[in-house]
Amino acid sequence: MTTWAEDAVEIAKSYTLKHLLQVSRFANFNSNHLSLVREDGALDLYHGNLRAIDASGNVIFDQLEYTRFNDYIMEEVRPWSYMKFPFIKSRGNLDGWYRVGPLSRLNNVSFIDTPLADKEYKEFRALSAGKPNHMSVAYHWARMIEVLHCVEKIHELLVDEDLQGTDLRASGSRREEGIGVIEAPRGSLFHHYKINEHDQVTYCNLIVSTTHNNSGLNRAVTDVARKYLSGKKRIAQGLLNHVEVAVRAYDPCFSCATHALGQMPLVVELFDAEGELLQRNGQYVDQDRIGQ
């Protein structure tokens, strides 16, 4: 299992380095990054406190108790999307948006507490000279380093004395409000619930990984469109493939995350400056516009 994970890291790393020029130009944009970190700054997927950094690696906040996330994170709605757009309050909705997930976690943490993964982490960070790596395609390299870390952790947990006992049920006082945060594979996952005296849920708010990454996903697709789309030509299959690559880097939690190769039900529409639909997946809506 360890060998498989190491090979997976090597595949993602070698591809990134071999195609570095293309990768560095593809959906590469500055952003803030958010994740849990352990008290000593190590990577931790299940417990810790929140750390956020800006595009240069400067700390926005650190060791924030996750039950206080509402004091630092705000969500806004926009008329053209059902999804919310979270942002860091102190930076405002224009500059406070951020990314989460494997890339953000490796940008955020100070080290990884398993030796093989930490060695790969140091090589990953060296590519950007210790500064945050903003390449969307680098999500895959970061993701495989985390897989290697998890394999190493599994070996540790299998011999952990705390997991060999019979005390399987947590106990404590009843609470009417609960907040939980973990680092899911796609990124930070926030759950906030309130109940009444009848154990009925009176309030529920989730900020899932795809919601955190909403702004980043939109910018990734925008970057692809600006670099690979010409309004004077048909939308080619190559553009659709580029959009798919950008979206899949974030592994978002909607239908395109099924990873059915070549079967992604992707629709790309092209509008003019007045908002009139010109093309849908390369087909002109108004045949009179062909060749214009």
> Could you tell me the pLDDT band of residue 290, with boundaries at 50, 70 and 90?
very low
Beta strands in 85-240 (DSSP E): 85-88, 98-99, 177-184, 187-195, 201-207
What is the per-residue pLDDT for 231?
A: 61
* Mean pLDDT of the 223-236 span: 75
Region 167-185: what's the mean pLDDT?
89
Model confidence at 287, pLDDT cuts 50, 70, 90, reads: very low
Compute the distance between CA of residue 111 and CA of residue 121 in angstroms, rounded to an integer.
Answer: 7
Please count the CA atoms within 13 angstroms of the CA of 82 that sit on its side-chain side.
Answer: 1
Average pLDDT over residues 54-62: 97
51 touches 34 (CB < 8 A): yes
Nearest Cα neighbor of 110 from 66, 63, 180 is: 63
- Are the C-beta atoms of residues 198 and 228 closer than 8 Å to each other? no
Q: Give me the pLDDT at residue 283, please.
A: 67
Structure tokens of 190? 């926030």
108 Ramachandran zone, left/alpha/beta (phi>0; psi -120 to 50): alpha
Cα separation values, 227 from 26, 75, 86, 177, 223, Å? 9, 30, 27, 47, 6
Place of tokens 């930070």: 188
124-148: average pLDDT: 97
38's torsion region: left (phi>0), alpha (psi -120 to 50) or beta? beta
Per-residue pLDDT at 172? 84
Q: pLDDT tier at 259 (50, 70, 90 boundaries)? A: very low
**Residue that the structure tokens 């798919």 belong to:** 244
Tokens at 56, concatenated: 């240069």
Region 193-202: mean pLDDT is 96
Q: Which of the two residues, 291 and 278, has the higher pLDDT score?
A: 278
When pLDDT is cut at 50, 70 and 90, the band that residue 253 belongs to is low
Highest mean pLDDT (candidates 138-152, 219-233, 256-270): 138-152
Q: What is the pLDDT of residue 118?
A: 98
Asked if pLDDT for residue 111 goes beyond 60, the answer is yes
85-88 and 98-99: which strand pairing?
unpaired
How high is the pLDDT of residue 256?
42
- Greatest CA separation for the chain: 74
Region of residue 78 (phi > 0: left; psi between -120 and 50: alpha; otherwise: beta)? beta
The candidate with the shortest Cα–Cα distance to 282, out of 255, 245, 246, 243, is 243
Distance CA 172, CA 163 (A): 20
| Statement: residue 258 has pLDDT above 50 | no
